[in-house]
Amino acid sequence: MNLTEKLIQFDKTGDPNTFNTSKHYTFLECRGVYLELISWLKLEHKRFLWKNEGRPTWSKPHMLSPEAEFTRLIPDFINSDETFRHTLKITGDKLYFSDEISEEEIRIITKAAFDYYNPGIAYF
């Protein structure tokens, strides 16, 4: 199972146990991790498409804000879950693709996120 498949499984089931973490996190904490990652993966695929269209763009790491809940949780997800560890790494205040993952794997997981994650427009 790749990272996007794991994220989609969580989205469909709502079960925090989808992630093999050392601590038990609430649904809302896991949902925050899900939203941050699926959004970044989707954007990475958009950047890939834009680059193929000739636009001047490139892959960018995900910035980890010290104030964000996601930033506090993601190291445990990476350290405890093989799928996360294979796919992601943290350097400083940025989240990158791991050195273990191939460009082909990156294309597969980012395209799956692009195809799956299509939030609707919220009207307030």
pLDDT digits (tens, 9 = 90+) for 53-90: 998 888 899 999 989 988 899 999 999 999 999 999 99
Angle at 93 between CA 89 and CA 97, to 5 degrees: 25
pTM beyond 0.75, yes or no: yes
Give the residue extent of every domain in the chain: 3-13+26-116
